[in-house]
Amino acid sequence: MLIKPPTPIPPSEITPKEHWLRRRELMAGAAAGLGLAALGGLGAVLTARPARAGDKIPGLAPSPLSTDEKPTSLEDVTSYNNFYEMGTEKDDPARYASLLQTRPWTVRVDGACAAPGEIGIEDILTGFPQEERIYRLRCVEAWAMVIPWVGFPLGDLLKRFQPTSQAKFVAFETLHDPKQLPGQKRAVLEWPYREGLRMDEAMHPLTILATGLYGEVLPGQNGAPLRLVVPWKYGFKSIKSIVRISFVESQPPATWNQMQPDEYGFYANVNPAVDHPRWSQKSHRIIGAGLFAPKQKTLPFNGYADQVASLYEGMDLKRFF
């Protein structure tokens, strides 16, 4: 998470900042009945946005599994991001998000399962009851945000494909298309971004696939149209813009773990007792809380120890970090 690209991304590929910053304003204008024609040239900006990002998602039930912490502002959640496929700076993802085409979008599910196949994003949105889950996302870089996700349990989707007894882990892959994800033109990481979970972690009710945030369809910079959220693990496990999910027998490759195994473990459970080799994990700052806000104490499993510590019984969490 702290690597610089060798060359900057060419300006021709950059959406001018004023365009992406004005998107919200434009959406509000459209909703107020102005219509695209009335927006004139600005209508073109609006239609160039990732399809349907920002649309309201109706009928969302609040989840009892939500934290009662104050959510980070929508502005911070959508403008301070890690998504290396869109650049290594925090504001790159919002700038490049319009290049990512999220419709149509298909996820292939294969490997050790009786019913492998493909599922389209529309079927995912209509086929699984979506709810609002407010989770704290604790990044390994020692900052966090509180995000009102929209999503559903990953396990509900996995069950449809009937995993066999050979399925011990689940592997995930992000879209690999340098035209839409210009950061992939540089070998900053090995592409596509990959992540993995043990089967019991994947089936845990706290693990969700997110399709939106703040009651709206997910923006590109946050991993549209479908990303993983595992609230007791560091943020890098929560892989974005997923196109493939595979049931596998042994521990699958995970991008950051492969790249720097001594710094980023496969399990990546939030653990204040295991420092990152280059910084402490004992506390973190909340993005948007202000420069002088006191740092917050990091809790084991990001505060979810009651629900998930039993998954790791008997494991040395300093070794399997």
Q: What residues make contact with ligand MTE under the rule CB under 6 A? A: 1, 81-85, 137, 139, 145, 174, 193, 222-223, 235-236, 238-241
Instruction: Give start and end residues of each alpha helix (H) in 5-101.
Output: 17-31, 35-39, 41-47, 74-79, 92-96
Residue 110: CB minimum distance to ligand MTE, A: 19
Burial (CB < 10 A; 0-12, 13-18, 19+), residue 168, is middle
Residue 218: CB minimum distance to ligand MTE, A: 9
Distances (CA, A) of 15 to 37, 49, 59, 74, 175: 22, 10, 33, 20, 20
Which is nearer to ligand MTE, 124 or 228 (by Cβ)? 228
Which is nearer to ligand MTE, 57 or 239 (by Cβ)? 239
DSSP secondary structure code for residue 47 in this structure: H
Residue 271: CB minimum distance to ligand MTE, A: 16
Residue 284: CB minimum distance to ligand MTE, A: 11
Which is nearer to ligand MTE, 169 or 264 (by Cβ)? 264
Residue 36: CB minimum distance to ligand MTE, A: 28
Residue 121: CB minimum distance to ligand MTE, A: 16
Question: Which residue minimizes CB distance to ligand MTE?
Answer: 235
Q: Which two tokens stand for residue 28?
A: 């509000």
Which is nearer to ligand MTE, 15 or 222 (by Cβ)? 222
Please name the amino acid found at residue 88: T
Which is nearer to ligand MTE, 169 or 193 (by Cβ)? 193
Which is nearer to ligand MTE, 29 or 136 (by Cβ)? 136
Residue 202: CB minimum distance to ligand MTE, A: 16
Please name the amino acid found at residue 174: T
CA distance 26 to 19: 10
Q: Which two tokens stand for residue 231?
A: 């609230």
- 162: number of Cβ within 10 Å: 14
CA distance 258 to 275: 19
The helices-and-strands tally (H runs, E runs) of the chain is 10, 13
Which is nearer to ligand MTE, 39 or 89 (by Cβ)? 89
Indicate the helix (H) or strand (E) that contains 125: helix 121-127
